[in-house]
Amino acid sequence: MHTTEFDTSLPSIRQLQNLVKQTAVVEFKLITGDLLTGRVLWQDPQCVCITDENSQQTTIWKQAIAYIKPKAS
Amino acid sequence: MHTTEFDTSLPSIRQLQNLVKQTAVVEFKLITGDLLTGRVLWQDPQCVCITDENSQQTTIWKQAIAYIKPKAS
Amino acid sequence: MHTTEFDTSLPSIRQLQNLVKQTAVVEFKLITGDLLTGRVLWQDPQCVCITDENSQQTTIWKQAIAYIKPKAS
Amino acid sequence: MHTTEFDTSLPSIRQLQNLVKQTAVVEFKLITGDLLTGRVLWQDPQCVCITDENSQQTTIWKQAIAYIKPKAS
Amino acid sequence: MHTTEFDTSLPSIRQLQNLVKQTAVVEFKLITGDLLTGRVLWQDPQCVCITDENSQQTTIWKQAIAYIKPKAS
Amino acid sequence: MHTTEFDTSLPSIRQLQNLVKQTAVVEFKLITGDLLTGRVLWQDPQCVCITDENSQQTTIWKQAIAYIKPKAS
């Protein structure tokens, strides 16, 4: 088994970790053009899992993210 | 021969493994815009294989996945 | 010279090898939206080569594959 | 923990660092076709974070950048 | 300086080398949807350079290739 | 700090270096479909920087290049 590299000192990794802690609502724009909105449950090196108002979970592949935008609270 | 790295401790890998065990129906949104739905038969580091109601198998390249969504049961 | 890694124990690699042996007709959906159909002649770590009914060969870059679907026989 | 490689001697990395220092307005064209404009707050190996006139932050995945253009001042 | 890996034993690399030797006309379908046609002058790990009837050279990034098709002679 | 690999013996790297020296006008077709034209100022492993007639600089991410075409002089 291989332990995948995950550098928690990187600002972009920490930003996502903070969004998990804050249970903030975040917009994810994907390279497909899809715009997904939800609270971030977890991230790993490959994916980010979000949940919407109906507790429907969606696992986003990081390779498909164009940008993310925390929604103003 | 080379044994490809596959970190089964990652949440996103384990989520897919759980979906295999649960024989859950999952939606795959691809970067092509295609939306494929089926039960997950297996994954490896490169692909995820699903089967639909007619037992037609489709092997999805992970590089093409934008997001996945387990369907509400 | 470098010998490229190619893990023949992976299900997705073996599936393609089996499709070569079976001379099965396979659909390839590419991230361009193209749908190519043919029998698989060979694969290597970078490409999959298929041939159509007129013996026209096409070499598909794996990086462009969204999914593959063996056609029902 | 793994420290991600980040070569600050590269012109393209330094260019972004300079744009941070200059608080210059920069256009980002993404492979989605989106055109985002803002001042660069930080970069790391994975992302670039910008802020617009309303202090709305957007974290752009570098994998999604097609080109950047500093706006004429 | 780093010498980039280039495995000339791979069928897909050799196929391109043979197309160079044969000065064969080849169609390149790119992930942009562009279809470029020309004779292959050289390849390296990153690119393939072709020339058209007017001796106009185009350097194609391999990352953008969806498939290639030698034209019937 | 990490020194990024950059193999100046590759034809495609040298071609870009020559285009810098010649201050040649080059067309860049991107995977977004954008067609950018300009003289090449510099390249590094990640980007190519061009300048247009109005001295407007644009930094193109190599990951987004489909092909390049030196313009006939």
Each residue's pLDDT tens digit, F8-29: 889 999 999 999 999 999 999 9
Q: Which pLDDT does position B5 carry in this prediction?
A: 62
* Average pLDDT, rounded, for chain F: 91
Is F41 in CB contact (< 8 Å) with chain D? no
Q: Which pLDDT does position B1 carry in this prediction?
A: 38
Contact E9, E17 (CB under 8 A): no
Nearest neighbour of F7 by CB, restricted to E4, E47, E60: E4
- Chains in touch with C (≥3 Cβ pairs < 8 A): B, E
Query: Per-residue pLDDT for E73 more than 90?
Result: no
Structural domain includes residue D44: yes
CB pairs under 8 A between D and F: 64
Structural domain includes residue B44: yes
Is F69 in CB contact (< 8 Å) with chain E? yes
Query: Per-residue pLDDT for C1 more than 80?
Result: no
Whether E66 sits inside 8 A of C32 (CB atoms) is: yes
CB pairs under 8 A between A and D: 64
* Residue B24, domain CATH: 2.30.30.100
Structural domain includes residue D28: yes
Q: Which pLDDT does position D2 carry in this prediction?
A: 46
Is E58 in CB contact (< 8 Å) with chain F? yes
Alpha helices, DSSP H only, in F1-73? 11-22
Q: Which pLDDT does position C2 carry in this prediction?
A: 45
Residue of E nearest to C51 (CA): E69
Query: Max alpha carbon distance in chain E (Å)?
Result: 42
Summarize the confidence of residues E30-49 as an average pLDDT. 96
Q: Which pLDDT does position B2 carry in this prediction?
A: 46
Contact E67, E60 (CB under 8 A): no
Question: What is chain C's alpha carbon radius of gyration, rounded to the nearest angstrom?
Answer: 12
Each residue's pLDDT tens digit, B7-35: 888 999 999 999 999 999 999 999 999 99
Query: Per-residue pLDDT for C7 more than 90?
Result: no
Query: Per-residue pLDDT for F2 more than 50?
Result: no
The pLDDT > 70 percentage for chain F reads 90
Summarize the confidence of residues A2-24 as an average pLDDT. 86
Summarize the confidence of residues F23-48 as an average pLDDT. 96
Nearest neighbour of C31 by CB, restricted to B4, B31, B58: B31
Is C41 in CB contact (< 8 Å) with chain E? no
Whether A60 sits inside 8 A of B66 (CB atoms) is: yes
Residue of A nearest to B29 (CA): A32
CA distances from D29 to B60, D43, D67 (A): 29, 16, 5
The pLDDT > 70 percentage for chain A reads 90
Q: Which pLDDT does position D14 carry in this prediction?
A: 95
Whether F46 sits inside 8 A of D12 (CB atoms) is: yes
Each residue's pLDDT tens digit, A35-52: 999 999 999 999 999 999
Q: Which pLDDT does position E2 carry in this prediction?
A: 46
Summarize the confidence of residues D9-24 as an average pLDDT. 94
Is E30 in CB contact (< 8 Å) with chain F? yes
HEC string for A28-66 = EEECCCCEEEEEEEEECCCEEEEECCCCCEEEEEHHHEE
Residue of E nearest to C5 (CA): E7
Nearest neighbour of D7 by CB, restricted to F1, F49, F64: F1
Confidence of residue F32 (pLDDT cuts 50, 70, 90): very high
* Average pLDDT, rounded, for chain A: 91
Model ipTM? 0.89
Nearest to E68 by CA among E23, E31, E41: E31
Domain tally, chain A: 1
Contact call for C and D: 3+ CB–CB distances under 8 Å: no
Structural domain includes residue B52: yes
- Chains in touch with D (≥3 Cβ pairs < 8 A): A, F
Q: Which pLDDT does position A2 carry in this prediction?
A: 46
Query: Per-residue pLDDT for E5 more than 80?
Result: no
CA distances from E43 to C54, D20, F18 (A): 28, 38, 17
Whether A49 sits inside 8 A of B8 (CB atoms) is: no
Structural domain for E41, as ranges:
31-73
Query: Per-residue pLDDT for F1 more than 50?
Result: no
Residue of C nearest to B54 (CA): C72
Summarize the confidence of residues C7-33 as an average pLDDT. 94
Give the closest-approach CA distance of B27 to chain C in angstroms: 14
Rounded to a whole number of angstroms, the distance between the first and last alpha carbons of chain B is 42
Contact E66, C64 (CB under 8 A): yes
Q: Which pLDDT does position E1 carry in this prediction?
A: 38
Structural domain includes residue F2: no
Q: Which pLDDT does position B22 carry in this prediction?
A: 95
Nearest neighbour of F64 by CB, restricted to D8, D10, D31: D31
